[in-house]
Every structure is written in C-alpha cells, then in structure tokens.
Amino acid sequence: MQRWLLLMLLWVSWPLVASQQPTVLVMGDSLSAAYGIEQDAGWVSLLQTRLNGKAVIVNASISGETTSGGIARLPEQLRQHTPDIVLIELGGNDGLRGLPPSQMRNNLRSMIETSQAANAQVLLIGIDIPPNYGDAYRSAFTRTYNALADEYDLTLVPFLLEGVALEPELMQSDGIHPTAEAQPRLLETVWPALELLLENHRNSQAGDSPLPQATN
C-alpha cells in the first residue's frame, strides 16, 4: 500500500517539477553553432553541461544565419519549444554582408517582440564587426544592440567575443570564428546575464533548487 501511495505521489508531482525547469532557446549564427569545432566543445554545449539538468537548452543556431533568417524561423521554434528565455545572437552576418543597420534593427525588434508576445524573456547578445565598411557603418551597427536593449529594457551582453576577438591564438584561421579553447570564455561572457534571467524564472517558481555556480 505504501509503495502504491509513493508511486501516486511521484506521478502527481512530476508535471509540477517538469514545469519548473526552464527552456532556453538560442537563436544564433555560427558563433553559437560551434562552427569549425566539435559540437560538444561549443559554448552552448558547455552551458548545458554547467546547468546539469537545471534547464533545457535548445540550440537553434545556424551557421551563416542573418536576422532575416532568424525572423523566418523564430515562430516555429517558439511553437515547438515554448521557451521561457530566448537568447538572440544574430547580426554578425548582416554586418559582414554590409546590410543596412536599420534593416538589422527592425529584424531584431521583430524577434524581440515576437518572443515577448510568447511570454519569453529575451537576452540580447551583441557582436562587433571589422571596419571594412567604414567607421560610420560600424558605429551604427554596434549602437543597434544598445538601442534595442534600452528600448525594450532587455538584459544585454554587449560583445560575445569580449577578450577573444583580439587574441589570435583564440581565433580560427579565418579570423572570425573562435577556437575550441575560446569557448569557455564565451560562456563566461554570457553566463552572468543568463544566470540573472534564470534566477528570475526560478524565483517565480515555488520550491525550485538553486542554480549551479560557475567554477574556475
């Protein structure tokens, strides 16, 4: 009798436990898709390892993705995964192709609003580009992320490759993509902002356990 009672309690409580586990959707490009390295070495995979079952990570990043591609794919990703948090790491390929910063801004704005309409928190991850198209273009490009973060009161990671982009030994031969050795640094750049959003989610759920702490 006690065994059946225990099984019933576990069966009843399981949906509640599962519902408290947040889902994080990563909409990124090659920087989040582990381009040129083993998938398990990418910063998104390292994030999954760090969380150790405290969250479900869905990596919907595609190498070469632009903000236009992100808009096209986002609704279906939201429908399939109903994420609690959406990480938007896009724009780099728009900049490398010289696409208008205003177009990128409008595309990212649409992704933010679509995610928020699906009741997901948004973490915006910025990127910088080489000065190929001039300082004015580069400045307009990088300002986009700060402007959107201010407009929508978002948590912002200003530059994903902080501490990596100017270190040749941490970049692949193309000078654009980080090596496997650089991936832990990318995770450390994203982690404080993401941890804050995860804590916000945890605090809204009763009886959840603390998030794992970063280790050196």
Catalytic, out of 29, 84, 94, 177 = 177
> Does the CA dihedral 95-101-104-105 come out positive or negative?
positive
User: What is the crossing angle of helices 67-81 and 101-117, to 10°?
Assistant: 10
Active site residue 128: no
Identify the bridge partners of residue 215 per DSSP, sorted by sequence position. Answer: none
Catalytic, out of 19, 135, 173, 174 = 174
Catalytic, out of 30, 32, 61, 115 = 30
The residue type found at 198 is L
Beta strands at 155-157 and 121-125: parallel, antiparallel or unpaired: parallel
Residues 104/70, Cβ–Cβ less than 8 Å: no
> Does the CA dihedral 159-163-166-171 come out positive or negative?
negative
Active site residue 139: no
Active site residue 201: no
Q: Which residues are part of the catalytic machinery?
A: 30, 174, 177
